[in-house]
Structure 1
Amino acid sequence: MPTRRQVLKSVLAAWAAPAILSATSLGQGRTAPSDRLSIGVIGLGSRGLNLIDDLLRASDAQITMLCDVDTIHYRDQPWGKGKAFGLEPTSEYVQKKDPTTRGLRTTKDFREVTAASDIDAVVVATPDHWHALITLDAIANGKDVYCEKPVTHTFAEGQSVYRAAHKHDVIFQTGSQQRSSPEFRQAVEIVRNGHLGNLREIEVGLSPGYEKPQGDPTVRQPPESLDYEMWCGPAPKLPYMRARHHRWWRGHRAFGGGVLMDWIGHHNDIAHWAMDGDNSGPTRVEAVGWTFPETDVYDTPVQYEIRCEYASGVKTSISSQHKNGALFRGDDGWVYVTRGKLLASNQAWAAKDFDAGPKKVYLSDNHMRNFLDGIKSRKACISPAETTHRSITPGHLGYVSHTLGRPLKWDPMAETMVGDEAAMQLLLKNEYRSPWG
């Protein structure tokens, strides 16, 4: 009997965009459930809900399973205030928004989603420390994956994920959605078409980290709605506090890499894209001027800079002191881009109808749509696993450089330190709490 993936591949032609428009529909232009991609969503916080809204707008996708270890919560707001997140309110929301959904299933165990035979693809919107294990399990079960950035928590996890995606020929999309925004694509094409002359330097501006507790730091019992043991999973089970949970978890390296690793997958990703360096990286990395909070609630940097040098001669500075976005400087001018804004030394370059030249990059105007189309066509998405792993590698290297107090020489093609075994061991360190190892 053919597998679900084989059946999916056999009907790709029937699922081309024009055919979808003429398919049998059920209200509001939705296609019949039998012709829709079946999606499981794991992680139902704020970002998970954003992605669910993207899926609900797609007539050829159906959310079949939802997973979260928290039944109901209100993110960083007091209990009962503001928008509700978690398993129960999200289930109600999906069924209200898409009345054609039948038999929507919910679970607190991601393995029920990744192993489900009727699921085509999995969306992972958990905290960073869960990204790799869930993604690898989904890939092992033949699922295509959309995973939020920074795609993985550690460097070793990143290698494991992109290698598994290659090996099993899955469609993978990282939530580095700036690649699907026109202002970033325009900036990249300005650089690639030589309008700046020789590219000399790039300033990658990220936000500062958490200087003080962002919520209540009182240690308390986890709420009854939350399976905190499962929420921690492979990470150390730190004492529960609101200041280190919903929204603010990334401030501690047990769960995330700080604001540095939160944002590097956005703006440094654009820097690599402009340099045509999606499968490469720097040759020298040095952490400079890192400062840390005066609280043990968090252990990630508040202010930071990572200086990188590339084989092309381009130098980059990834820093909390730069304006948020990416600034490219060349011999003949500059261009700066951030969300919703593009500025340039030549005002003509910044016009929305400016055609930068013949060197065009991958065109995607809708990140989730690009993923769904990739599932059906089997064409690689705009933000595949290795691309985003490479974009965040300077952040991982920056942590190692800071810890050891010295610059690092890096071979980007082999992904190894040059003459520094201690640094390589630190980079590859990857510890999981039992039984998740």
Structure 2
Amino acid sequence: MTHSRRHFIRSASTLMAAAAVPNALHAIPRLVSPSDRLNVAAIGINGMGWSDLTAMIKNPEVQCVALCDVDKNVLDKRVAELAQKGIKVKAYSDYRKLLEDKDIDAVIIGTPDHWHCLAMTDACAAGKDVYVEKPIGNSIEECHIMVAAQERHKKAVQVGQWQRSQQHFKDAIDFVYSGKLGQIRLSKAWAYQGWMKSIPKKPDSAPPPGVDYAMWLGPAEKRAFNPNRFHFNFRWYWDYAGGLMTDWGVHLLDYALLGMKASNPRSIMAAGGKFAYPDDAAETPDTLTTVYEFDNFNIQWEHATGIDGGPYGRDHGIAFIGNNGTLVVDRGGWEVIPEKDKMEAVPRKPKVDNGLDLHTKNFVEVVKSRNFADLHTPIQAGANVAINAQMGNIAFKTGQKIHWDAAAGRFKESEANKYLAATYHNGYQLPK
């Protein structure tokens, strides 16, 4: 799609007519010229990549033209599902071949975390706008590289932290900014995941037929195939992801940081381990508490698997604890609990919209307008929270209270700095 096509230029008379008869226009399905359609492809379509694509193609100006997955079983299934909707797409097993297609305008990246950096930077270099799943990188170094790639290639890059598009989250943060809570000394974010049970150990085996396992590994360390490390459960292995700290943490810590207008903590400490299921197959901690120290407040992260009873009776959420009261927000709504008689309570205000639909729509609108400041979660915002989540994991791995030197972009502790960089294997090179 050419630059002029993305702008969807309409005449002044058309705009005036639309303003004059808004109700009539809402009643008539909007027809989009083929030349004005956004050609989208999805890379990694087993989980959130498919959810992202499904939401994005609800927009009439978007058409899906290609899919890519290293698992042919998944790829064939998704191609068939689109065909049932009358959508015919090209199918790829190697995303680099997909990126060579000049007709593709934007890509969705829904791969495991360890592939995000390479796929996103390659897509930007190929001239594509990008919707990339969170967390953006599997290391602090990768996060910086991804920000630099967006700035260098000047592409629209939206991170899949869709809560930033939900109205009730925005309303909750506006209340935090109002000052009515008084001085906020602590913000808590947590994910108590009762549905997560023990992962039984399984023996290594041959990859399933149709799976390009070497491509799935990509830059990760070469290991024998194990079903526990594949598809959804890759999240609980350090080679590919960062456990609940980066999986749910980036969603919830994002709002803790946003509400406190925070970026770099002074120090980080974390304690936890495999307390619930000490002998199961997962590597990442099933129980963790992380404390981020800022100048005049702390942010605290908690997660636990196999338990639903989190703070305030919620299995996930963010709390802003002020001298006058506490605001609690989760994906279902928000409320204010007063501190004795210091302020009025605010009864729970439920969610009113679909965050993922709105988030993908926002991306489409910015691809057309080229006003990158309108993105709800630009790559810079995604990097801020992903870096903080990585800091929490690094504090856990070192077992130390670690201190961040923002000017140097490094920790003051040499042990912690060992975890800053990404190590690529199998002939893959870290993007420059």
TM norm structure 1:
0.84
Opposite residue 181 of structure 1, the aligned amino acid is Q
Distance 1:262 1:268 in 2: 11
Opposite residue 106 of structure 1, the aligned amino acid is A
Q: 1:172 to 1:117 in 2, by over 3 A?
A: same
Question: Could you tell me which residue of structure 2 aligns to residue 77 of structure 1?
Answer: none
Opposite residue 9 of structure 2, the aligned amino acid is A
1:156-305 alignment runs, 5 A limit: 156-207=141-192, 213-214=198-199, 217-277=202-262, 280-291=263-274, 293-295=277-279, 297-305=281-289
Opposite residue 150 of structure 1, the aligned amino acid is P
Report sequence identity in percent.
Answer: 29
Q: Secondary structure at the match of 1:428?
A: coil
| Structure 1 residue 376: Cα displacement | 0.7
1:6-405 alignment runs, 5 A limit: 6-8=3-5, 11-14=7-10, 29=30, 31-72=32-73, 86-97=74-85, 99=86, 101=87, 104-207=89-192, 213-214=198-199, 217-277=202-262, 280-291=263-274, 293-295=277-279, 297-311=281-295, 313-320=296-303, 322-323=310-311, 324-346=316-338, 349-350=346-347, 352=349, 366-380=358-372, 381-405=375-399
Q: 1:18 to 1:350 in 2, by over 3 A?
A: farther
Distance 1:422 1:110 in 2: 36
Opposite residue 269 of structure 2, the aligned amino acid is E
Distance 2:191 2:349 in 1: 25
Opposite residue 207 of structure 2, the aligned amino acid is P
Question: Could you tell me which residue of structure 2 aligns to residue 75 of structure 1?
Answer: none
Opposite residue 148 of structure 1, the aligned amino acid is E
Distance 1:209 1:407 in 2: 29
| Structure 1 residue 88: Cα displacement | 1.0
Question: Could you tell me which residue of structure 2 aligns to residue 81 of structure 1?
Answer: none
Q: 1:57 to 1:29 in 2, by over 3 A?
A: same
Distance 2:79 2:376 in 1: 30
Distance 2:92 2:233 in 1: 24
Cα RMSD after superposing both structures: 2.9
Question: Could you tell me which residue of structure 1 aligns to residue 421 of structure 2?
Answer: 429
Opposite residue 413 of structure 2, the aligned amino acid is D
1:205–1:319 Cα contact (<8 Å) kept: yes
Q: Secondary structure at the match of 1:247?
A: helix
Q: Secondary structure at the match of 2:232?
A: coil
- Structure 1 portions without partners, runs of 5+: 73-85, 355-362
- Structure 2 portions without partners, runs of 5+: 23-27, 305-309, 339-343
Residue deviations 1:370-426 (CA, integer Å, cap 9, x gap):
000010111221111121111122221122222322111113465322x334422x1
Distance 1:337 1:211 in 2: 22
2:135–2:382 Cα contact (<8 Å) kept: yes
Distance 2:207 2:227 in 1: 9
1:209–1:303 Cα contact (<8 Å) kept: no
Q: Secondary structure at the match of 2:103?
A: coil
Distance 1:165 1:350 in 2: 41
Residue deviations 1:180-231 (CA, integer Å, cap 9, x gap):
1122112111111112111110111023699875366232211112111111
Opposite residue 6 of structure 1, the aligned amino acid is H
Opposite residue 256 of structure 1, the aligned amino acid is A
| Structure 1 residue 288: Cα displacement | 2.1
Range with bigger deviation, 202-211 or 151-160: 202-211
Distance 1:314 1:394 in 2: 15
Distance 1:349 1:5 in 2: 49
Question: Could you tell me which residue of structure 1 aligns to residue 341 of structure 2?
Answer: none
Question: Could you tell me which residue of structure 1 aligns to residue 25 of structure 2?
Answer: none
2:220–2:424 Cα contact (<8 Å) kept: yes
Q: Secondary structure at the match of 1:13?
A: coil
Opposite residue 53 of structure 1, the aligned amino acid is T
Residue deviations 1:332-365 (CA, integer Å, cap 9, x gap):
11110111121211566446499xxxxxxxx998
Opposite residue 3 of structure 2, the aligned amino acid is Q
| Structure 1 residue 15: Cα displacement | 10
Q: Secondary structure at the match of 1:41?
A: strand
Opposite residue 281 of structure 2, the aligned amino acid is V
| Structure 1 residue 95: Cα displacement | 2.7
TM norm structure 2:
0.85
2:67–2:91 Cα contact (<8 Å) kept: yes
